[in-house]
Each structure stands twice: as structure tokens, then as C-alpha cells.
Amino acid sequence: MNMDSFTDAFSLQGRVALVTGAAGGLGLETARWLSAHGAVVVISDVRSEVAAAAQQLRGEGLDVHSRVLDVANADAVFATVESVRAEIGSIDILVNNAGLKHNHGTAAKMEPSAWDREIAINLSGAFYCARATLPGMIERSWGRIIGVSSFVALSGLHGAPGYAASKSGLNGLTRTIALEAYRYGVTANVVCPGPIAVPGASSDPKIAERFLSRLPGGKFGEAQDVAAAITYLASDAAKFVNGIELPIDAGARLFYTGNAPKRG
């Protein structure tokens, strides 16, 4: 292997990526990383601010396009994937990042409508996007499906049953795609971030303190910690990595199990 091959393995040159829920936060930073590694990136979001976000990245010299898309609307997902194919190119890399988290209360109190909404966006939305992009990936014998799950998918989260269940479901969906599609050159993996500080996010200080108290190192992660892992999973360097659930949490999940003591 010569020196070029080492770096080429991480290049995304010639690939087209779709990142959902990317008007800001982890999705936007992921788009920045994928594009900086050579991919043409389409960022989508239910919020129209996604157009300005794409413009911001273009201002940084990156090849980034935008689409307004509600991932919970299957017809809209299929139409968007088709318009990207026709105008930009077939999607090689799908990052299922769109997500909603509300603290709706315990399972004993959560409204069924709130449950339905979290499942529709976090889980069904990811399925629709995979369903719309997988046939093309299989046909071209190359593809990457990467889910942005959460470390709570591996444990559970007091007061957020819909969120925790939707993220565990996303893991199950992605593992199944991993089983079905690897033989066609497609890998499917999830990253499971712990608490990550996201620009512009307003979080309840009490909840933030609860997370911080159990976070080794006592500091939130950064969006780039997640974006870097996704960029690796999207590359040829990760061609033998399939069906994994990668925690990106400074080991926080170890402190959330059972009666684990607080950091200290």
C-alpha cells in the first residue's frame, strides 16, 4: 500500500450523500465533514432554514445543496430522493440524522400522540429514507447507511420512552439492513452519541446537570466527535465494518447502567 492509498481510503470523492435533519446541529457538522472529504452533499430538513445552512457551507467552499423534507412523509421522501437523483446524482451515502426528542414523561403518563410523533420521525422516517435509497445502492454495488442513534438506545432513558424506543428501533432497522445488503456492497451502521453540545440548542439546565454528573470528564462532546465517526463509516476504509452500534459518549453509558455511582 503506498501513501496515497492510505489517504484515498478515507476519500469520499465521487460520492453523493444525503443527510437528513441537517439545518443545524450534528447533521450540519456531518455535512461539513462529508463534503470536506470530497462528497457532494445534500442537506435536508423540515425547517426551511436548511437553505441558508447550505449557503453557509457553500461559503466555506463546499459543494452542498439543500432540500426541505419532512422525513415522516413517505411520499415526500421518495420524491426528494428522485429529484436528487435527477439533478445531482444517485445517493451513495444516507445519514439518517433527523430526530426529535421531547421529555414527555414516563411511560405511565406519555400521550399516545407524542409517542406516535417520535416514532414517525426517528424510526419510520429513517426507514422511508433507507427504502428510497437502498435499491439504487444495491444496483450500483456500493452504499452506506448510517443512523444517528443515541447511547440511550443501548440502555433506556427515564422520562423519554418514545425517544429511547425509537432509537432502539433505529438500531434494529440498521442491523437488519446490514444483514440484508452487505452482499451487495452496502454497509449499515449506527453511531450512538452521548450528550453532545450543539450550537443553538436550548436544554433544560436540570437535565443538563443530570447528564453532566454522570459524564466521565464532566464535559459534553462536540458535534465534530460524531461527524468524524460518520465520515469514517462512510468511507472505503470502513468497508468491513457492518452492523455496528458505535457509542460516542466518553464511556458515559457505563455510568448509566443499574445503580452505577455518579462520576467522582
Ligand X SMILES: NC(=O)c1ccc[n+]([C@@H]2O[C@H](COP(=O)([O-])OP(=O)(O)OC[C@H]3O[C@@H](n4cnc5c(N)ncnc54)[C@H](O)[C@@H]3O)[C@@H](O)[C@H]2O)c1
Catalytic residues: 163
Q: Kindly state whether residue 70 participates in binding ligand X, applying the rule CB under 6 A.
A: yes
> What single-letter DSSP state applies at residue 262?
P
Q: Kindly state whether residue 20 participates in binding ligand X, applying the rule CB under 6 A.
A: yes
Taking CB under 6 A as the rule, which mask of x and - marks residues 118-147 in contact with ligand X? ---x--------------------------
Give the three cell numbers for residue 49.
432554514
Within 205-244, the residues that bind ligand X by CB under 6 A are: none
Taking CB under 6 A as the rule, which mask of x and - marks residues 173-192 in contact with ligand X? --------------------
Of residues 73, 72, 56, the one with CA closest to residue 64: 56
Report the residue from 77, 98, 157, 215 that binds ligand X according to the rule CB under 6 A.
98
Q: What residues contact 196, with CB distance under 8 A and at least 6 apart? A: 26, 220, 221, 222, 223, 225, 226, 248
Q: Kindly state whether residue 157 participates in binding ligand X, applying the rule CB under 6 A.
A: no
Taking CB under 6 A as the rule, which mask of x and - marks residues 43-62 in contact with ligand X? --xxx---------------
Q: Kindly state whether residue 153 participates in binding ligand X, applying the rule CB under 6 A.
A: no
